[in-house]
Amino acid sequence: MSNEHNIVILISGSGSNMAAIVRAARRDNWAQKYRARVAAVISNKADAGGLAQAQELGVLTEVVEHQVFSDRDDPRGAFDAELARRIESHRPALVVLAGFMRILSPSFVAQFQGRLMNIHPSLLPAFPGLHTHQRALDAGCRVTGATVHMVTADLDSGPILAQAVVPVVLGDTAGTLVERVLHQEHLIYPAAIEAWLSQHAAA
């Protein structure tokens, strides 16, 4: 690996966590402290809003559309193989999933084992998977939140790195919880990445 510790961020949507990470990297001078930088943002959707946001922040963007592989014998495997190839071209120290809405294959996860990080909008191990805010409301939870964790082959079950607790208040809906939890995500995700860098890539 080169002396520079590259971070590759994967997105599928608006990229708000991605932008929070890029801004934190610059604000907190990860380049000097850890020789780390966000080298690329890759999306599986060409119309993902986060691509334009990344470009405005001066970060290289790429697209690997999963639909392109739909006619293959193994569409998921073919997509994961191409995505992995594109990621590896940036020699990443860390791969960060930031609203990347694809379940990755065990072989992909194994290729990036120990350097693949995700954020999930619940207090894991509660409510893995989708529709977390509505599920928390339906269960009568008094609190919810967000979890940063390392990725393993089992969905949303890797080692927990950081969590933020968000109270559930009277009148909350899934929509209001999304906003408050996302605010916390923007704080804990960059902090968790910096903590990882401090252990793995300190200058």
Active-site annotation holds for 120:
yes
Q: Half-sphere exposure of 33 toward its Cβ, with a 13 Å CA cutoff? A: 15
Query: How far is 7 from 70, CA to CA, in rounded Å?
Result: 28
Which pair of tokens denotes residue 120?
A: 């999930």
Question: Strand pairing partners for 164?
Answer: 146
Q: Which of 5, 66, 90, 120 is catalytic?
A: 120
Neighbours of 150 (CB within 10 A): 18
- 198 SS3 class: helix
Catalytic residues: 120
